[in-house]
Structure 1
């Protein structure tokens, strides 16, 4: 991974009339990283993405892509960008291959070999000559990714790329994006409301609320920070176990899965021993970790995502 970031968001600000939509947003995305952009309804995610691709002019600040300003050097900057906003638009009566040929004509230097290369990258080799109208939504998303990659961009921006996909399609797209970042060194900025999916897909996430960036963190750091050690006990007689835990001064919570006890790893063995001595069957003990969704709801006060 190179030291120089592919994307530099510098004090990005957007006002519409008297309303402040984006407030002094700053973050960076290094090469080969999948960066998740999260926020509640109206937080400013789509506005930020529109400014990143030049569809909306910032009131202040700038976006640098490979060191080129989207405001002052638009053509040089946008040349490094591939983007899909929601569902990619294709000519459904043409084959996937002819769609790519059509878009390739708009970009100097993109020939048949590059088209074949991106088709292999997104795994459409067997269906690329079929008409797009016969494609599943997941295949259309992959064809959209292929189109966005034709000109060898350094940055891929995807706004809600999993919209309308079934679980298999979501997983398929996730695996392709991870592989692209890892094998091709492409930086990917992805906005989605599917938090569990973002947790699996992204290296880092940034959370935006009311136009301000609350935090940017590695996924592992986000879900681990400030966590009280908690373990799930699955036992034969939960009522007796709960009474035992409370008698030992251990905070305990009933869930559908079992009993969650706030206890460090050192004490878990003692609790297990106490349960066995009390004649309570123990079927399993697991550490409980907060998900990205849990942390998101904590940080944003429970606001829903767009």
Structure 2
């Protein structure tokens, strides 16, 4: 197995408190690795260590088969990054910002700048200064800057934040193109589970600074199960009916009115009839398939974690 990025017992402590603890991450060459976790889980801290913005307290980082050190300048040239919110020279245009970045990186190819702006659909804004860009345009420009030097590895921290649904889909398609057509490996953090489900090859789930799961999306999809989701008006009474009248034990409460029933011995009609006969109002009832969201929440619960 070829790993383009690997960490071994990666740990970071601030003022004696560990915010990242013994993380062993494995990113395969040519894949999209989705990095999931709630706010404060440690995603950005790990990404900053991967890009040499902060130093680990202990542990090792290996990128392109080389140990990352203070002098790993050539390794970093082969990477493109967005960490937290992208910052630009606000009085300059998109092209001027990318030209300065490429010069700083020692990369001189104007065609690459044109291509990067075209890929993120910012190629018809000549003369417009960045200060007049929308949040979504700045996110796109950040991605254009990250890919302008034709990197082998992209590290993107919440790159679809602030985008509308159309913008999110366009960037999802772009990430797939960069990976499949250009051979770029992507490490992407996000809170949008549905997007990660559609684009990722591997999922890493982090909570409280610990990597609690690292699994392929194929494996998750292979474990998908059907369940019935019902929204009711009296959840306490509905739970009593499920357990005492119908003998159903395998279910989960979702929010204040929702129940997901994982036993398949009874049909939607049978469950609905039992509720109606016992004066439990039903808002909706549907059969669904488990998703990355289900896997994510299940993983959190298995670690006795609550978000």
TM-score by length of 1: 0.77
Aligned to 2:228: 231
Specify the SS of the correspondent of 2:46: helix
Aligned to 1:133: 131
Q: Indicate if the aligned counterparts of 1:70 and 1:78 stay in contact, CA closer than 8 A.
A: no
Query: Using a 3 Å threshold, how does the CA distance of structure 1 residues 98 and 30 change in structure 2: closer, same or farther?
Result: same
The alpha carbon displacement at 1:203 in A equals 2.2
**2:161 & 2:272 partners in 1: Cα distance?**
47
**Does 2:24 align with 1:21?**
no
Q: Indicate if the aligned counterparts of 2:226 and 2:287 stay in contact, CA closer than 8 A.
A: no
Aligned to 2:290: 289
Specify the SS of the correspondent of 2:3: coil
The alpha carbon displacement at 1:285 in A equals 5.8
Task: Please list the CA deviations of residues 23-47 of structure 1 after superposition, one character each: whole Å capped at 9, or x if unmatched.
Answer: 2211211122221222334332222
Name structure 1 gaps, 5 residues minimum: none
Query: Using a 3 Å threshold, how does the CA distance of structure 1 residues 105 and 229 change in structure 2: closer, same or farther?
Result: closer
Query: Using a 3 Å threshold, how does the CA distance of structure 1 residues 82 and 244 change in structure 2: closer, same or farther?
Result: closer
**1:36 & 1:254 partners in 2: Cα distance?**
27
**2:126 & 2:300 partners in 1: Cα distance?**
41
Task: Please list the CA deviations of residues 233-260 of structure 1 after superposition, one character each: whole Å capped at 9, or x if unmatched.
Answer: 89xxxx9xx9799766456889899985
The alpha carbon displacement at 1:167 in A equals 3.1
Query: Using a 3 Å threshold, how does the CA distance of structure 1 residues 129 and 177 change in structure 2: closer, same or farther?
Result: farther
**2:253 & 2:185 partners in 1: Cα distance?**
43
Q: How does 1:171-250 map to 2 (within 5 A)?
A: 171-219=169-217, 221-222=219-220, 225=223, 229-232=226-229, 249=247
Query: Using a 3 Å threshold, how does the CA distance of structure 1 residues 140 and 107 change in structure 2: closer, same or farther?
Result: same
**2:300 & 2:243 partners in 1: Cα distance?**
29
Q: Indicate if the aligned counterparts of 1:209 and 1:300 stay in contact, CA closer than 8 A.
A: no
TM-score by length of 2: 0.77
Aligned to 1:145: 143
Q: Indicate if the aligned counterparts of 2:36 and 2:190 stay in contact, CA closer than 8 A.
A: yes
Name structure 2 gaps, 5 residues minimum: 232-236, 278-283
Aligned to 1:112: 110
